[in-house]
Amino acid sequence: MKEWRGIPREEIPWFPTMDEEKCTGCRACVEFCPNEVLEFHEAAGKARVKNPYNCVVECKACAKLCPVDAISFPDEEEFSAFIKKKLSGVEKK
């Protein structure tokens, strides 16, 4: 995805953040995400973010299936405020 609602995807800070301390290496998130956002780092035995901007904006599906709550996303209210601001800038162009 190159753009989302007219905003360049790389200007949108929506992607998972992995807590490596919590991750048990079950691979559920890596196997689930169809967009190659995540990869399994064999040496570390942990899931990591590989392609953050492949993440579908506002998707949180992988976080919901992580058994140890190791995946987080931006705060929804702050994110909505950020997008509103961005969109008002886009629409003025």
How far apart are CB 77 and ligand SF4 at their closest, in Å? Answer: 18
Which of 35, 34, 36, 22 has the alpha carbon at shortest distance from 66?
22
The residues that touch ligand SF4, with contacts defined as CB under 6 A, are 16, 18, 23-29, 32-33, 35, 37-38, 47, 55-56, 59-62, 66, 68, 70-71
- The smaller minimum CB distance to ligand SF4, of residues 35 and 89, is found at 35
- The smaller minimum CB distance to ligand SF4, of residues 31 and 78, is found at 31
Which of 16, 34, 38 has the alpha carbon at shortest distance from 26?
38
Contact 9/3 with Cβ under 8 angstroms? yes
How far apart are CB 3 and ligand SF4 at their closest, in Å? Answer: 16
Residue 40 three-state SS: strand
- The smaller minimum CB distance to ligand SF4, of residues 34 and 91, is found at 34
Residue 67 three-state SS: coil
